Amino acid sequence: MHHPAPVPPAKASSHSGMDHGAMDHAAMEHGGSDHAAHQAVPASPAKASDHSGKDHGTVDHAAMGHGSTDHAAHQPAPASPAKASDHSGMDHGAMDHAAMGHGSTDHAAHQSAPASPAKASDHSGMDHGAMDHAAMGHGAPPRTEPITPIPVVTDADRAAAFPVLKLPMAHAPEINHYVAFNRLEAWDAEPGSGELWEGQAWVGSDLNRLWLRTEGERTGGKTESAQLEAFYGRSVSTWWDVLAGIKHDFSPGGSQTWAAFGVQGLAPYKFEMKATAYVGESGQTAANMEVEYELLLTNRLILQPLVEVTAFGKDDPARGIGSGLSSVEAGVRLRYEIDRKFAPYIGVVHERAFGNTADFRHAEGEDTRDTRVVAGVRIWF
């Protein structure tokens, strides 16, 4: 007995007018199909045909390849959500199942395969051995040239990158000058107050310069020491100058002139150094070395340690100088550069006398050690 498929939510096609009895199931290649168990392939989502007006009774089932079909057991496939076909009017008895290629099919057990989601390609007839894999890029060597070629540099590109300067270049003047007072400071002394100055100046070119250096100290309104040096300086390297000149002492004692020779410059690790040797009028000799370093705490706040050592070749009681190591002065000054040319500072300085120089100071009732807090200013122009 033939049962029509259940009608889905969408409108189903009407097969009521089709004569299923006339189908030749043998021609449909189903053979002896049991229609009670036969399940048709589910209809696609597209709109199915309306076979309600067709006479299924005239269908030659033998010619369709179905053979003898049991229409009582034949079950049509459930309709898809889309509009299904109505086969109620079709005469399946006249279908020729043999001609349809089903042969002798038991429709009760015959289940049609569900439709695949998408049509698959059949590669069985393709000859993969004849494919040119090298042309497809699988066997090709790696690319050595850039994907985007670099254009060749032209003369126009070179001219744009290196324009010709038509204006004359401005050179620095041949003669320059520099004046600086590294220390202009004061402190509280016994009695009164103390003052100190130390400065230098030069004029000339990068290779040849005239140097002037001066240093002095006053305590309680009295000049304790004062000196002036003049040198010819010659640059012997990027960082060093060789000096030769004279030094004149105004005090203590009587005036005295010295021949002076030395070097000055920037030592490794940026230590500024001055080393000078002196030969006096009466065969007196002396040496002085000064080392300082500038530590930048910020762009304007700078800490400057300084050490100065002085020695003499022989005693000079008139000036209170003894042979050997005479004195060592060590200090540290912290300055703030309001402007690069003007920087006030504060600091602590300790001085100590050694050897015969210390003995001469004892005899005069002076201290061999002195520690003082100083305040001053550094200027240059």
Residue 221 is predicted with a pLDDT of 87
Q: Which residue has the higher pLDDT, 200 or 253?
A: 200
The percent of residues in the chain predicted with pLDDT above 90, rounded, is 46
- Band of the pLDDT at 121, cuts 50, 70, 90? low
The H helix count followed by the E strand count for the chain is 2, 16
DSSP single-letter state for residue 305? E
Residue 2 has pLDDT above 60, yes or no: no
State pTM to two decimals: 0.56
Tell me the per-residue pLDDT of 254-281, one tens digit each, with 9 for 90 and over: 889 999 999 999 999 999 999 999 999 8
Residue 345 is predicted with a pLDDT of 98
- For residue 119, give the 3-state DSSP assignment: coil
- Band of the pLDDT at 148, cuts 50, 70, 90? confident
- Band of the pLDDT at 132, cuts 50, 70, 90? low
- Band of the pLDDT at 252, cuts 50, 70, 90? confident
Q: What does the mean pLDDT of the chain come to? A: 74
- Band of the pLDDT at 318, cuts 50, 70, 90? confident
What is the distance of C-alpha 52 from the center of its chain? 79
The percent of residues in the chain predicted with pLDDT above 70, rounded, is 59
**Domains in the chain with CATH codes:** 1-111 (no CATH), 176-380 (2.40.160.40)
Least confident span in 47-56, 257-266, 287-296, 355-364:
47-56
- Band of the pLDDT at 220, cuts 50, 70, 90? confident
Report the pLDDT averaged over residues 199-213: 96
Residue 9 is predicted with a pLDDT of 43
Residue 184 has pLDDT above 90, yes or no: yes
Q: Which residue has the higher pLDDT, 322 or 30?
A: 322
Q: Which residue has the higher pLDDT, 297 or 254?
A: 297
Report the pLDDT averaged over residues 84-108: 42
DSSP single-letter state for residue 32? S
Q: Which residue has the higher pLDDT, 22 or 197?
A: 197
Residue 283 has pLDDT above 80, yes or no: yes
Sequence letter at residue 319:
R
CA distance 15 to 76: 11
CA distance 365 to 359: 10
* DSSP E strand stretches across 85-221: 94-98, 176-188, 193-204, 208-219
51 φ/ψ angles, rounded to the nearest 5 degrees: -100, 20
- Band of the pLDDT at 146, cuts 50, 70, 90? low
Residue 189 is predicted with a pLDDT of 86
Residue 56 has pLDDT above 90, yes or no: no
Residue 241 has pLDDT above 70, yes or no: yes
